[in-house]
Each structure stands twice: as structure tokens, then as C-alpha cells.
Amino acid sequence: MGWILASYLIFFQLLLLHFSSYNCLSCNSDDKSVLLQFKNSVAVVQSSPTFDVCVSHSPKTATWNNETDCCGWDGVVCDSELGHVIGLDLSCSPLKGELLGPNSSIFKLRHLQQLNLLSDDLDGSPIHPAIGDLVSLTDLTLYYLRISGDVPSTISHLSKLEHLDLTVESLDSTPRLDLYTWNRLIHNATNLREISLRGVNMSSLGESSLSLLTNLSSSLLSLHLTDTKLQGKWPTEIFRLPNLQEIRILTNENLRGELPNSNWTTPLKTLFIYQTNFSGDIPDSIAHLKSLYSLFLFESNFDGFIPPSLFDLTHLIFLYLSDNKLVGPIPTQIIKLSNLLLLDLSGNMLNGSIPLGCYSLPSLFILDLSNNQLTGSIVEFSTNSLKFLKLSNNKLQGYFPNFLAPHMQVLDISHNNLTGLIPKSLGTFFFLWALDLQDNNLHGSIPDNFSEGNALETIKLNGNHLKGPLPRTLNHCTNLEVLDLGNNDIEDKFPYWLKTLPTLQVLSLQSNKFYGNITSLGTKLSFPRLRIFDISNNYFIGPLPTSYIVNFQEMMNVNHSQTGPKYIGNYPLYNDSMMIVMKGLHWELTRILTALTLINLSNNMFEGEIPKAIGELKSLIGLNLSHNKITGTIPVSLSNLRNLEWLDLSCNQLKGEIPMTLTNLNSLAVLNLSQNQLEGVIPTGRQFDTFDNISYVGNPMLCGFPLSRSCKGKKERSKSSTFDEEESGFGWKAVVIGYGCGTIFGIILGYNVFFARKPHWLARLVEVVLKVKLPRTNNRKRVIRLGRKN
């Protein structure tokens, strides 16, 4: 990952320094003209390369000109005797063109030993087999090239290779490295020390070809085979290679394997096996890896107990074992890991209580024990270093602990059984941006001293027994995006004073004891960014809060240029999620899509008519006004809500006919108009042909399909018969797709995103911790198209 790359760069720079001291000799004139040819054949591009490790992005070729000695040019290294060019380092140099195409002048530099094209863009061109002519190469780095075509078989001619790094990002097809080429390469290049083939399709290699790596036993230091589509069984003996310091075989879901349970005494420093089908237990023998500092074994099938001896590895800094099938307690020996920065054991089946050692690890920065079966209470943390704490979804109970505030940023203890009061001091944690205490047994009131200038972006206290009133100092949380206070016992009037919070996107007060009418004091800018407004299940009275609704600016605009899902919040360590009730079921959206816009005013005592202006909220996805005392007719303007997927007006006192134009809502997946006093013929056509009678029952004067009551003598109101369906784009297919999207959008997507969560999460984490930006090559699960494609 980033730091490896950084060390390569430093290595190359040192190499350059080393050689430049011999640069008194002038360069070989043939080589010089080859380099000038090369310069002329490529274009310098204005791009913003993906590598933050690049200190600058200036094209190195800018310094190349016929007047000066080529041994002094940027990125060029000469041999000290004959002035031949032996090193070419064009990393961080935004060039475009057929850098390694058939006519590339690079292939004429026959003395080349080091070639580094760490580049952003090779424009999808293939690597020409002539690469095999550079037989003196010891170091070949083609990092992050968008190459197309396969790795040429001639690469096996490079018998002097010590360092091979082909890290590719696929365009349409992933470059393949076939069995034949691999076997010959390993056979020939017996000095290979570092192999990195990230992103290359090596699916044709079986266990026996991989076993050839044991022939490199005396030289191999580092093996990096991320996302190489390997399948079958990984040869265990590779782990035992005597000089191997680094193994990365991540994101190979079909690769089976086990860790060696004996004879494992090697100088391994980093072991990355994640998103694989590795299984079996973490053997005691891991304790022999005395140099190990980075252990990433997440999202695989490891099971069994965590061996206490693992925590004898006192150099450990990163220890990720999340999303496996580990059982039993967390060994108390954890106290020995005084260098540990990150501990993630989430998503296993660990039980017992949190060992005391966890509370005092002096370097611990991130602790994630969520999604296990931990019991017992949480005691006070005595470490000052902790910034991120996730203990959600366990069986923890007892009183809410007090935390050392110096630096806490994320505090997530949701879905446990904590009791007692929320400490008042929480409101004064200056760096805290996510506070999630959902679904516990907390009581008392919400802390009333949120300090000014606090960092809070998310406050979720849903599902406790908190009482009101709401503290006015919530107004100091000017960065707040999500405020979820649902399912508590808060008794208060509507908190109109929150309307000035400039970034508030989600406000849920559902299922509390809020009361009174909701009147606006007439300001235009109320809740300017609100996307989810849920005040259902309270005791609100009076007219619908029209003056607010018609000013929800954010709900009025549909962003047509947005592709792919976007979420509220953008952090490695905390994803906003919330419960919504749809079709009578509770769904947890594991991350809140910014495209989700929802108004839920159901189960109150609102009266009066539905305001026509509601038709302005063009991006609205869900509207629930059910179980109120709403009168009047269904406004025709509702048909303007072209994104609406979910409309519930049931259990009110609505009269009149169902507007024919509602059939224009071709995203509508859920419709409930039952228990009203609607009359006339039910419209037919498009989505309306997919609703069943549940949508209409309890309206004695409604008739027509899908009700059994026929409309004797009444005029058929099918609009679809009045114009051509295909021409209008509303054919049968559109109906089905529309229906499917609604469901996928609201529900399935949330789950997809849940499963796809980790890679992105982890990448972001490493980026934040190490301040580097990683190339995104592993996002295959995240490509989910939203909405309809017209």
C-alpha cells in the first residue's frame, strides 16, 4: 500500500543520488538521442495524479534538452564507465502516450537496469513484447498503469529481475499473466526479491505453479498478489519461506488456504490476508513471528479461538481480525501490546467481557469490538490516546462509563443494554463528531451543555428512555448533519429553533411525546439542507407544517448529474445508518444515502388539507401522512413528485377522486390510500396496474380494478389507453423497472452497501492514518447504479 510505494520512491531517489555522484562522465550519445526521441513521442499532460506520495508532479522530461549532458537529466541514471543510461525513473511525471508501445524508444536503452513508470495514465495501451529485450533489468516498476492486453510472455526473459511491480488498474479487461509466462518467469528470474502483481489476472495459476515460489526461497522478501483472481488452494509452504518479510494476498475471494500450524519461524513483518476464503484457526505458531507488526486477516473464514500467544507479538501495531468466525474470549494478554494503534475484532462471535487491558493500552487509537457477543460492563478508559471507539451490537450492560475526553472523535456504543444517565460532560467533548448511543436502556435527559464550536455531526440517541425537554444548546452543534432522537419519551414542543442549523440533513423525532402545533415564524431559510424529516408517532396537532415543508430547499432539487450512491458523512470509521419504517417493516439503512428524501408525519393528529405546494419537493422519495385527520382531496400536484417511490395517505379523511395524473409517478412502488373516503374509479395503467386491493380497502365509494367492486355505468379512467405507451417511455418494461428500482433503492441497496463496506472503510482509514491516498482498485462491489436510466 501507500507506505510500500513511498519506500520504493525513496529507494529510487537514493539510487539516483548514489549514481549522480559518478556523473562526471558525459552520457552515451546514442542513449541521449534515444531519450530525446522518447521525449518527443510523449505528451505532457495536465492531470492531478492519484499519488499523494509524489512530492511534485512536474514532468521530468522538461529538463531534457540537447544542450546538456543526459546523465544530469531528471530521472536519468548513467553507468559510471561508458555513460550508458542504466536507470530511468519517470514516476510522478504526468506523461501520456504509448510509453511502452511497439515503437517506444525505451526499448532501445539496452543497458537499462531500473525502469520506473509510476504513472497515472497509459491510455489503455498494451505493453509490447519488446520489454523482454531489456535483459539487464533488475528493477521494473509499472505502477498503476491502465494497461490493456496481457502481460507479454517475454517478461520471462528478464532473468536478472530482483524487483517486479506491475500494479494495474483495469479498464475493460484485466491484463492476464498466464501459467506459461509465470512458470518461465519464476524459473528464470531466480533473484526475485520483491514481486507485486496487484490487479493482474492470474486466475489460470494453480497450486503447483504458486508452489514454484518456494524455489525463490533464498531471495524472496516481499510478495504482493492483491486482487489477482487467484483460486484454488494457496500452498502453505510459501508462508515458511525463510526470508519473506511481507505477504499480501488480499481480495482473492476464491482463494482457499490455511495458516501453517507448525514450523513458522520467519521474519514476516506484515501479513495481509483479507477478503479471501482462507479458513481454519489462527495457529499458536503465529507467536514465532517475532517481527510481525501488521496483521490484517479480516473478511475471511478464520475460526476458533484467538490464541493468547498472539499477544506475545509485542511489535504489533495493526491487528485486524474483523469479520471472521472467531469465538471465545479476547485473551487478557492483550495488555502486552503497548505499541498497538489499531485493534479491530468486529464482526466475530467473541464472548466474555472486554479484558481490562483494552482500557489502558497506551498507544491505542482505534478500538472496534462491535458486532460480537461481549457481555459485562464497560469500565473507565485510562488511555489518553483513544480516538475511535466502537462497541456497538454486543450485549454490554451496566452504567454508562465516563470517558477521558482529551481526543475522542467517534463514540459508538449503540445496540447494547447500557443503563443510567448520559454524562453531562459528553456535550463538552471538543473533537467528538459522532455520538451513537442508539438502542440502549439509557434514561434521564439529554446533556444540556453542548459547548459552542463543538464538532458534532451525528447524534443518535434513538431507542432509549430519554425524557425531555430538548436542550437548547443543541443549537451549538452547528456542524450537525444527523439528529436522531426517535423512540424515546421526550416531551416537548416542536424544536423550531433547530431550523437554523445550516447542515442538518436528517431530523428524526419519531415515537416520542412531542405535542402542540407546528407553526413557522415565517422565515424562508428553515432547515435548508433537510432530507429526512420524521416526526411520526407523536402528539402533534393543528394543520400540517406546511410553512416548513414548502421551504425544504434540499428536497426541491433533483441532482441529475449524480451517478452512483452518495452517503451522508464520509468517514472511514463511522457510517450513518438509521431505521425507517416501510411497508410496515423496520429497515435499517446501514448508510444514509443522500438521495434518500423522506417526509413522515404519520400517526399524529394533524388536520386540514394536504398543501398543493408539496408538489414542489421534486426529489421526494417517500411521503407518509397516514393516521392523521387530514381532509380535502388528494392534490393533483402530487403527480409532480416524479421520484416518489412510497406514498402512504391511509387512515385519514380524504375525499374525492384519485387524480388520474398520479399514474405519472412511474417510480412508485408502494401506495396506500386505504381507510379514507375516496370515491370514483381507481386509475389504471403503469405502476397502478401493480398495486393490489390492500392499497385501496376501506374506501366504500371506490370501484374498479383491483377492488372487486365494479364501476357499473362509471366511465373508465385509464389514461394509458389515450396515448401510445412505448412512445411515452412508459411501456411494460418501464413499469417493471420502475418497481424494481424502488425496492432496490430503498432496501437492497442498504444491504449491498453493508457488505461492501469494509474495503472502502479500510482504505479510507489507512489514508487518514498514514496521510496517503490509495488507488481505488478494489471497488468492484461498490458499483451500484442508482435510480432509472432513461
Binding site for ligand NAG (CB under 6 A): 33, 36, 66, 98, 101-103, 135, 156-157, 159, 173-174, 176, 184, 186-188, 201, 203-204, 212, 215, 229, 253-254, 256, 262-263, 277, 279, 327-328, 351-352, 397, 417, 419, 424-425, 428, 441, 449, 451, 516-517, 519, 542, 559, 561-562, 566
CB closer to ligand NAG, 610 vs 702: 610
Q: Where are the beta strands (DSSP E) in 62-130?
A: 76-78, 85-89, 95-96, 114-116
- The radius of gyration computed from the CA coordinates of the chain, to the nearest angstrom, equals 32
CA distance 660 to 720: 10
CA distance 395 to 648: 36
**Residue 85 C-beta: closest distance to ligand NAG, Å:** 15
CB closer to ligand NAG, 204 vs 633: 204
**Residue 383 C-beta: closest distance to ligand NAG, Å:** 21
Give the CA distances from residue 364 to residues 337, 341, 414, in Å, rounded to whole numbers and listed in that order: 9, 4, 21
User: What does the angle CA 442 – CA 444 – CA 449 come to, to the nearest 5 degrees?
Assistant: 110
Dihedrals phi, psi of 255, to nearest 5 degrees: -90, 120
CB closer to ligand NAG, 397 vs 479: 397
Show the cell assigned to 444.
Answer: 434521564
CB closer to ligand NAG, 294 vs 778: 778
CA distance 495 to 417: 28
CB closer to ligand NAG, 348 vs 675: 348
Residues in CB range of 201: below 8 A, 6 or more apart: 174, 175, 176, 177, 228, 229
CB closer to ligand NAG, 257 vs 357: 257
CB closer to ligand NAG, 37 vs 677: 37
Only one residue has cell 454508562, namely 400
Show the cell assigned to 325.
Answer: 468466525
Contact criterion met (CB below 8 Å) for 544 and 608 = yes
Show the cell assigned to 446.
Answer: 439529554
Q: Which residues of 640-659 are buried (b: 16+ CB within 10 A; e: fewer)?
A: bbebbbbbbbbbbebeebbb
CA distance 313 to 592: 39
**Residue 80 C-beta: closest distance to ligand NAG, Å:** 23
Contact criterion met (CB below 8 Å) for 313 and 290 = yes
CB closer to ligand NAG, 2 vs 468: 468
Only one residue has cell 460532560, namely 425
CB closer to ligand NAG, 449 vs 710: 449
**Residue 135 C-beta: closest distance to ligand NAG, Å:** 4
**Residue 329 C-beta: closest distance to ligand NAG, Å:** 7
Q: Please report which helix (H) or strand (E) contains residue 600, including its range.
A: strand 598-600
**Residue 98 C-beta: closest distance to ligand NAG, Å:** 6
Dihedrals phi, psi of 4, to nearest 5 degrees: -65, -45
CB closer to ligand NAG, 173 vs 721: 173
Residues in CB range of 286: below 8 A, 6 or more apart: 259, 264, 292, 307, 309, 310, 313
Decide: residue 475, CB within 10 A, 0-12 exposed, 13-18 middle, 19+ buried. Answer: middle
Show the cell assigned to 564.
Answer: 452512483
**Residue 13 C-beta: closest distance to ligand NAG, Å:** 28
Looking at residue 257, its amino acid is G
**Residue 565 C-beta: closest distance to ligand NAG, Å:** 10
Show the cell assigned to 624.
Answer: 407518509
Q: Return the number of other C-beta atoms located less than 10 Å from residue 173's C-beta.
A: 11
CB closer to ligand NAG, 407 vs 709: 407
**Residue 255 C-beta: closest distance to ligand NAG, Å:** 8
**Residue 568 C-beta: closest distance to ligand NAG, Å:** 13
**Residue 353 C-beta: closest distance to ligand NAG, Å:** 9
